[in-house]
Each structure stands twice: as C-alpha cells, then as structure tokens.
Amino acid sequence: MKQILLITDGCSNVGESPVLAAGYAFREGITVNVIGVVDEGTIGELGSREIGDIAKAGGGLSRIVGTAQLARTVQMLTRQTVVQTIQQAVNKEVHKILGNSSLAQLPPQQRSEMVQVVDELSETSPLRIALLIDASASMKPKLAAVEDAVRDLALSLEARAGRSEIAVFHFPGRSGGEDAQLDLDFTDHIAQVRSLFSRLKMRGATPTGPAIFKVIEAFQGSIALDEPRALLTGKKHGDQEGMIGGYVV
C-alpha cells in the first residue's frame, strides 16, 4: 500500500493544480490523504474546497482540524486508509465470487471471516507512506504540532506487525527552485523522523501541485515494494494462507 499524507494550511498558489496531481497519484496506486490545519480563523472556502478535492481525486480522506487534534487525526486517517484500501481489494473479490453483494450484505458467518481477513491484512501488509509537509511561511506557528503528529504516527507505524516505511518531504524546496525537498528517503527506521524537524526551514509560497508530482516520482523511483498480494506467498500462518489467497486480487 502506498499513501501520501499532505499536511497544509491553505490554498496552493504556484504551478499545476494539486487536484490534478492527486489524480495522477491515485492512478499510480497511491492514495492521497489531506489534513488542513487551522488555528485562528478559518481556512477559507477556497482552501477547504481544495483540500476536499485533492483527497477525492487522490482516493483518500480529508479533515480540517486545529493543532490540538492534529496528532490524533494523522494517526486515524492513516489507519482508516489502510483498512479502506484492503477492504476495496477484498470487496472486489467478493463481487467476483458472489455477484452483486457487498460486505454489508453477506450473511454473518461469511462476513465475520471476511473481516478477519481484512483485519489481518491491514495489520500485516507492507505500507509505504510519504509525508508531504507544507512549510510555507504561514505554517510556521503550527510546526510544533506537525512535529508532534509525525512522532505520534511513527509510534503507530512501529507497532504494526507488517513492514512500514516512511519518507518525509516539505515544500517549497530550497531557493524556491525545487518543488519539494526530500528530508528523509523511504526507510523502515521510522525513528529517524524524530530528529528531522530541526532542519525544516519555513518560507515562501505554496506549490502544492508540483510538490505532489515530486512525491509520485519518488515512489516510482525507488524499488517497488511488496504489495498486499505478496503476502500470499509469504511465510506466515500456514493454514490461513488459502483463505487469504482466495479473497485478494
């Protein structure tokens, strides 16, 4: 599973449309979640619409929250998206086997087994998540909360049974020339994100769209990781294998 988590506080104002960029990401199999952080005032109608649209185009979820709820929201969105991605894959299989019925319409026993599979895969499937942090000037007072949220996410990722990798980008990049700057390349040493924030410099405009494109490139550039289906050939749970294999594409 691949996810981008965009944390921003307003409208993009430079370069390609971030909604278009998110559409590209989704087509490439990367889900885009967006969190808008606001403390004083509101994010504006334009900003909140853009946040919703990026998530819709990116097949993900969006929330607009204050700094106090940021950590909880980051953690929750990431988890929900993992479950949702697995569930979509499982639902597709259900359609194939049982025709037009969804999870909710299955008889209790079958549903119970299906959900066991979803739970198992959500916990054990490899996950790669790229954090894309808006570091424009207006985000400066919120950086401490973002840092807290990222630490918190790191804890939850470390607790997963499956392999988790994290990468961190911020935008705009150095000298305004770069769209997004890579702060930490994909690593399963999740703890590394904790020492990252002293290096973040906040300035400039909000090129959200170009930044998302940059992250898509990073996903493609690095060696492709095992997708959920790779689990089927894995070593765990000998007798459950058949069941899992049966349900997932």
| Contacts of 58 by beta carbon, 8 Å cutoff, 6+ apart | 4, 22, 23, 25, 26, 30, 31, 32, 33, 34
Binding mask 32-71 vs other proteins (x if CB under 8 A, - otherwise)?
---------------------------------------x
Q: Which of 116, 220, 222, 240 binds other proteins (CB under 8 A)?
A: 116
Q: Which of 158, 217, 242, 246 binds other proteins (CB under 8 A)?
A: 158
Residue 147 vs 165, nearer CB to other proteins: 147
CA-wise closest residue to 172 among 123, 126, 214: 214
User: Any idea what the Cα angle at residue 206 is, between residues 205 and 210, rounded to 5°?
Assistant: 120
Residue 148 vs 227, nearer CB to other proteins: 148
Q: Which of 144, 191, 230, 249 binds other proteins (CB under 8 A)?
A: 144
- Cβ 22 to other proteins shortest distance, Å: 22
DSSP line for 197-220: GGG----S---HHHHHHHHHHHHH
CB-based burial label for 36 (10 Å; 0-12, 13-18, 19+): buried
Footprint of other proteins on 93-112 (CB under 8 A): 103-105, 107-108, 111-112
Binding footprint of other proteins on the chain (CB under 8 A): 71-72, 76, 79, 83, 87, 103-105, 107-108, 111-112, 115-116, 118-119, 123, 144, 147-148, 151-152, 155-156, 158-161
